[in-house]
Structure 1
Amino acid sequence: MSVPRRNVLLGAGGAVLTGLAGGGIGYAIGHDGGEAGPATQAAAPAGDPKYRSRPDLRTLPDVTITTAANGTVAGSIFLTPASGAGLWGPLIVDETGSPVWFRKVPDPATVAIDLKAQRYRNRPVLTWWEGTIGGTGGQGVGQGEFVVADQQYREITRVRAAGTEQADQHDLVLTPRNTALFWIYDPIPYDLRPVGGPADGVLHEGVIQEIDIATGRRVFEWRSSEHVALDESYAPLPQGESAHLPYDYFHANSVGLAADGNIIISARHTWTVYKIDRRSGDVVWRIGGKKSDFRVDDRTRFSWQHDFRQRRDGSYGLFDNGAGITKEKEFSRGVVFKVDEAARRTTFVAEHVHPEKLSAPTQGSFRELADGGSFIGWGQMPHFTEHNADGSVRLAGHLPPDNQSYRAYKAEWTGEPRDQPAMGVRVDGGSVIVSASWNGHTGVARWRARWGTQPGALAGGAVEQVRTGFETTLTVPGIPEYVVTEALDASGKVLGASSAIPVRV
């Protein structure tokens, strides 16, 4: 079965085989299911590619690991790098910073946000958001939809908002009952005179939708304007010529489930986190901000925050930016605190700080790991860190300075793409250097190159090499007519093979 062009070049795995042709680089587009595909020639990109087996990934940003101590939890790191270079998309890397899988955002979308591993129908999936981001006052507001992909990187479905609106990028939670919780930023006509604005103003309200994924049916909706007054906001009104632009008074940026099944959310512009009754929509409580239902201890106090979650022991954690429209703290942090609902008070537990005391005015994430440690994405600052339970850093890394990743996560992931491995070859003196990769496959332990006089008669010899990062190189002695690469697992089983391609001098 052949693969549509979009799926080959931009989709799961992206089977691109490259070979030397008259001194240039040629592409052989593989077929789905591991069949050998015909080779076709194309012009070589200018300059040396980052990966000879995947020259289309030449501008994929480098991920640098600066701290790698013992005791990290098993898993891959999930990022959505964005920069002026234009190669945006979901990216998984290992603990060395080497790419595991990347997919470029397909047109007409311009941005990918919030790649993470979740479960749907009790099976592991990847989810991320695709769309465009705009907004007023430097605050990102998204219009797009969520992608759900399986372990073979095949798109299962897209989660879209019910009605005429589009989904915002700030969060997606797949629930055990196979529904999706996410935000919509809905601009509605609103009388802003009580807070000093025009009578015919526009309000950006935060709307939670819960959608049945299989049918697209809306099963729950919550609107901030019905429960949260404008006087809770710390955000200034648009002024002057911008007075009729939407007033982003709430700026929702996370949604999740509490242990009791109710919904917990974060609103950046009210400096408040909320628990919402999942049946009635009533606000059960507020923590932080101008109308807190709890006495918040000084060490817990937060502002311009992101990513509010309940942890396994019942405590709560969030990414306290401490900076945004104003700067309230010198540096951002992940903070953990306990909530005593009977006494209506919070108690500080721990904080997690970057060694460089980073301040992130926008974005960010803070998640608990399986051993009680935590993983932090530093949002606007292109860094991520893994922490022990006491806050000490056991892994740290970063994207290039001109990049950022809205969030960063760590989780175990097994990927088995259906396409072929990719191969690049070049002649070096009297040998052929073979470059092999398989975008997204997590089971490859070794690579083998075989060669011969015909594609179906590769009996000239074979060499093997332990996998070394995203791309592994093997040296073939002499200059054979055809070469093929095979991906092997730890037991030596062949997981997949590239097309056999000719070597031409």
Structure 2
Amino acid sequence: MNRRNLLLGVGGAALVGVAGGGVGYAIRSPQSSAEPAPTTAAPAKYRSRPDLRTMPDVTITTPANGTVGGYICLSPASGTGLWGPLMVDENGSPIWFKKVPDPATVAIDFKVQQYRNQPVLTWWEGTIGGTGGQGVGQGEFVLADSSYREITRVRAAGTEQADQHDFVITARNSALFWVYDPIPYDLSPVGGPTDGVLHDGVIQEIDIATGKKLFEWRASDHVGLDESYAPLPVGNSAHLPYDYFHANSVGVAADGNIIISSRHTWTTYKLDKTTGAVIWRLGGKKTDFTIEEKASFAWQHDFRQRRDGTYSVFDNGAGVTKVRDYSRGLVLRLDEAAKTAKFVAEYLHPDKISAPTQGNFRELADGGSFIGWGQMPYFTEHNADGTVRLAGHIPLDNQSYRAYKVDWTGAPLDQPALGLTVVGSNVVVSASWNGATKVSKWRARSGTQPGALTTNLEAARSGFETTITVNGTPEYVVAEALDASGKLLGASSAIPVRV
């Protein structure tokens, strides 16, 4: 048993009851005894791809109006096993879905980044909740190219595993992410045991190509226990790790230094990129800034610098305690010399919802913003003035740690998929191509032999799966994907019609 498991007191079984339990994630593994996985398979959702039956539905409640275009990246999760990165269009129609492996594996933080000057998909895979409480992950990051081929996996250096909360590819093709490291710690100064365990927040910067560690930073070297708002574990849980910091974002500021968010100290920090020294604290008990009342935040996520120099954060306003009636995307302007923080704007869900956990807030290319509402299964796209120009949700019993609006072109290497159904004296052709973004219409070719397909019928793409009805019952059918100009992008195999 390694040092991590020894400190956590686990040998394969998940423990519960860490301080702040329920404030990181509110999901359970499909293998949880409290919420067992279903014993019967769900019915096929798509005739051409019955294997994608677990792909969750996305509902658009405010149709797109004046948006920047692009696709929406989600990572739905529920207690019934809907796990995997999901990309949909602005109508909520799936573009690409990947079911991640069982058992108890989840996908988190699915998004588009740049690696070696090329767009890539990235997400985290692993398990959550096995370290003594909800919200802490053990896993690794996946990079995939525009054909959905896995390029590499990024793992933490040493014996630890990467946490799911963030993964940022830098301009030098390295990756910044967090590791939650349980270390022996004297918690008596804050009323805990002298032989306690502390969940330390550790930043690692790893060279993606070589796996070499380039930089490391530990919260316990710079941030005291007295900065935390999280309660200590007590009673039978007193020796479980104290999650005093709960890191949930890491990024690079315009000046090249590192900016981070700590949910349990209500503080965002700027760190020297070379020494790791704290340059300033924004928020919390030891803030270096005078903060306007409307610009204060609590239990926050996703601290970023915007193009105009302002900073943004997803202000949950709720966690162990509820500080604000609703969550929001918050924009602040910092005067780093005068140490003042002023309110610039806030972005709200039309229903002013409160998200006790998770969430993100991102600037878009045209000055608008996109919000994933975390534990609440919603996403919204906003104009610069805060008005909503697109809104939707995943199934209401799901949640998505973050949600992103992305620009993406996908060209899968596999063939289009084809399903055939005989209805009366006709054949219904169902065609799809998981991940293809350039398909504008489909053509069904049919005939008596694979080499003699003389009948052609076309239909505009109508979502993930498009259906075309062929009159009569030909012997064979092929589905062909076409772009807007009619160019052939790919074709299925010739499938025999079985009556």
Scaled by the length of structure 1, the TM-score of the pair is 0.90
Residue number among 465, 477, 483 corresponding to 1:483 in the alignment: 477
Number of the residue aligned with 1:141: 136
Residue number among 453, 458, 464 corresponding to 1:464 in the alignment: 458
Deviation per CA, 1:76-103: give whole Å up to 9, x if none.
0000000122131000000000000000
Inter-partner Cα distance in structure 1 for 2:448 and 2:380:
51
Aligned runs of 1:343-422 on 2, under 5 Å? Answer: 343-422=338-417
Q: In the alignment, is residue 342 of structure 1 matched against residue 357 of structure 2? A: no
Gaps of 5+ in 2: 1-39
Contact 2:132 2:241 in 1 (8 A): no
Residue number among 221, 226, 238 corresponding to 1:226 in the alignment: 221
Q: In the alignment, is residue 246 of structure 1 matched against residue 263 of structure 2? A: no
Contact 2:175 2:206 in 1 (8 A): yes
Amino acid at match of 1:280: T
Amino acid at match of 2:88: V
Inter-partner Cα distance in structure 1 for 2:345 and 2:385:
7
Inter-partner Cα distance in structure 1 for 2:130 and 2:326:
25
Deviation at 1:59, TM superposition (A): 2.7
Contact 1:190 1:200 in 2 (8 A): yes
Deviation at 1:46, TM superposition (A): 7.0
Inter-partner Cα distance in structure 2 for 1:358 and 1:369:
22
Inter-partner Cα distance in structure 2 for 1:108 and 1:471:
28
Going from structure 1 to structure 2, the CA distance change for 1:246 and 1:46 (only over 3 Å counts) comes to closer
Going from structure 1 to structure 2, the CA distance change for 1:109 and 1:216 (only over 3 Å counts) comes to farther
Contact 1:59 1:85 in 2 (8 A): no
Inter-partner Cα distance in structure 1 for 2:130 and 2:285:
25
Number of the residue aligned with 1:318: 313
How many residue pairs align between the two structures?
460
Residue number among 475, 486, 489 corresponding to 1:492 in the alignment: 486
Amino acid at match of 2:486: G
Number of the residue aligned with 1:94: 89
Residue number among 193, 196, 200 corresponding to 1:198 in the alignment: 193
Number of the residue aligned with 2:303: 308
Contact 1:105 1:111 in 2 (8 A): yes
Inter-partner Cα distance in structure 1 for 2:194 and 2:490:
65
Indicate the SS of the match to 2:113.
Answer: strand
Deviation at 1:353, TM superposition (A): 0.6
Amino acid at match of 1:150: D
Inter-partner Cα distance in structure 2 for 1:406 and 1:223:
24
Q: In the alignment, is residue 424 of structure 1 matched against residue 419 of structure 2? A: yes
Contact 1:109 1:130 in 2 (8 A): no
Inter-partner Cα distance in structure 1 for 2:369 and 2:199:
33
Inter-partner Cα distance in structure 1 for 2:412 and 2:333:
42
Inter-partner Cα distance in structure 1 for 2:397 and 2:263:
24
Inter-partner Cα distance in structure 2 for 1:431 and 1:48:
23
Deviation at 1:452, TM superposition (A): 1.4
Inter-partner Cα distance in structure 1 for 2:358 and 2:133:
12
Inter-partner Cα distance in structure 2 for 1:440 and 1:60:
13
Aligned runs of 1:171-182 on 2, under 5 Å? Answer: 171-182=166-177
Contact 2:430 2:468 in 1 (8 A): yes
Inter-partner Cα distance in structure 2 for 1:254 and 1:280:
19
Inter-partner Cα distance in structure 1 for 2:349 and 2:382:
9
Inter-partner Cα distance in structure 2 for 1:135 and 1:345:
41
Inter-partner Cα distance in structure 2 for 1:121 and 1:272:
33
Residue number among 210, 214, 221 corresponding to 1:215 in the alignment: 210
Indicate the SS of the match to 2:189.
Answer: helix
Indicate the SS of the match to 2:371.
Answer: strand
Amino acid at match of 1:495: L
Number of the residue aligned with 2:99: 104
Aligned runs of 1:423-462 on 2, under 5 Å? Answer: 423-459=418-454, 461-462=455-456
Q: In the alignment, is residue 264 of structure 1 matched against residue 259 of structure 2? A: yes
Inter-partner Cα distance in structure 2 for 1:372 and 1:504:
54
Larger RCO (alpha carbons 8 Å, 6+ apart): 1
Number of the residue aligned with 2:498: 504
Contact 1:178 1:212 in 2 (8 A): yes
Inter-partner Cα distance in structure 1 for 2:309 and 2:139:
33
Amino acid at match of 1:194: P
Deviation at 1:456, TM superposition (A): 2.4
Number of the residue aligned with 1:63: 58
Gaps of 5+ in 1: 1-44
Q: Larger deviation: 147-156 or 56-65?
A: 56-65
Amino acid at match of 2:441: R
Going from structure 1 to structure 2, the CA distance change for 1:178 and 1:108 (only over 3 Å counts) comes to farther
Deviation at 1:106, TM superposition (A): 1.8
Inter-partner Cα distance in structure 2 for 1:80 and 1:413:
17
Inter-partner Cα distance in structure 2 for 1:469 and 1:417:
17
Deviation at 1:108, TM superposition (A): 4.8
Number of the residue aligned with 2:161: 166
Indicate the SS of the match to 1:407.
Answer: strand
Inter-partner Cα distance in structure 2 for 1:74 and 1:82:
25
Inter-partner Cα distance in structure 1 for 2:122 and 2:144:
6
Residue number among 457, 464, 473 corresponding to 2:467 in the alignment: 473
Inter-partner Cα distance in structure 2 for 1:135 and 1:322:
26
Number of the residue aligned with 2:231: 236
Indicate the SS of the match to 2:294.
Answer: coil
Deviation at 1:390, TM superposition (A): 1.2
Flag as ranges the 4+ runs of structure 1 deviating above 2 A. 45-49, 135-139
Inter-partner Cα distance in structure 1 for 2:193 and 2:347:
42
Contact 2:132 2:240 in 1 (8 A): no
Inter-partner Cα distance in structure 2 for 1:151 and 1:417:
7
RMSD, aligned α-carbons? 1.2
Inter-partner Cα distance in structure 2 for 1:68 and 1:339:
35
Amino acid at match of 2:304: R
Amino acid at match of 2:422: V
Indicate the SS of the match to 1:441.
Answer: coil
Inter-partner Cα distance in structure 1 for 2:339 and 2:403:
32
Inter-partner Cα distance in structure 2 for 1:84 and 1:500:
39
Inter-partner Cα distance in structure 1 for 2:101 and 2:233:
34
Deviation at 1:457, TM superposition (A): 2.3
Deviation per CA, 1:445-470: give whole Å up to 9, x if none.
010000111222222x1100010110
Amino acid at match of 2:465: E
Number of the residue aligned with 2:8: none
Deviation at 1:429, TM superposition (A): 1.1
Contact 2:313 2:329 in 1 (8 A): yes
Going from structure 1 to structure 2, the CA distance change for 1:47 and 1:197 (only over 3 Å counts) comes to closer
